[in-house]
Amino acid sequence: MGIKIGIAGPLEHTNYREAVFLAAARAGIELTVEISLIPEQADDWDGLILPGGGDTDAAFLPGQPPQDPTCTGVNTKLDEKQFEILDRFVRAGKPVFGICRGMQLIGIYFGSDFYQNLPTADSHRYIDYDQIHSSHAVPGSFLEKLYGSDFAINSAHHQGVRMPDCTTAAVSPLIAAFPGSQPFSLDVIQHASDGVIEAIVHKNLPIIGLQWHPERLCGRHARPDAVDGGKVFEYFLSLCRK
């Protein structure tokens, strides 16, 4: 029996589609992939990929701060659709895989604090190409099992999630309006050497987020100076089969 994966984003997100099909072929999984932003359509998906993209509207952030002048590509309607689809998956308890912006959306949804522009943004932002840098995975995490404790990854972002004091974690009124919104419940499982959070998982639900771009580290995009990103897609598909 096959599985159906949805990518909640614009139709040009074909690199994610290519990566998940490659992972399915390696794992011997029959797969259907659909790219859509129609929330009702998402109810038919077995797993959700929240892809990368532009910056999030600051109105969704805790405290609703002013939009930082460094932000680009802000699309409030896209934010609303992706949060709505994420909410449906949270309430259904189905697997979610957030990548770059997608991880940030997961963090915001579950009450993380947020950097609109990282203090070390120049070490992570896309400057003609992805930045390659070291990272450390938490012992026992799925990433440590896949790649070991320390390994190189790629980055193409200037924003990032920041862990709050869990006793004061709060979400914006816009996020709190979603039925599945709940108290902060994420664990950090990977950091860059400068402390930037590179991966998160939900404590109880099959939800994972990577700040880096595994779809640009596999198949024809594989590179010798970083890990094989296809292994993460295979792990995500294993969650979708359960």
Domain residue spans of the chain: 3-241
- Strand bridging mode 3-7 / 31-35: parallel
Total number of residues shown for the chain: 242
- The pLDDT assigned to 167 comes to 52
CATH code linked to domain 3-241: 3.40.50.880
- The pLDDT assigned to 166 comes to 54
CA 187 – CA 184 distance, rounded (Å): 9
- The pLDDT assigned to 104 comes to 97
Sheet holding 150-155, edge to edge: 31-35, 3-7, 47-50, 96-99, 207-210, 197-202, 186-192, 131-137, 150-155
Instruction: Name residues whose C-beta falls within 8 Å of residue 217's C-beta, 6 or more positions apart in sequence.
Output: 153, 154, 223, 226, 227, 228, 229, 230
Return the sign of the alpha-carbon dihedral for residues 187, 4, 84, 78: positive
- The pLDDT assigned to 90 comes to 97
Of 238, 204, 242, 236, which is closest to residue 96 (Cα–Cα)? 236
- The pLDDT assigned to 240 comes to 96
- The pLDDT assigned to 162 comes to 92
Q: Which residues of the chain have pLDDT under 50?
A: none
- The pLDDT assigned to 182 comes to 73
CA 114 – CA 93 distance, rounded (Å): 25
Return the sign of the alpha-carbon dihedral for residues 195, 234, 18, 101: negative
pTM: 0.96
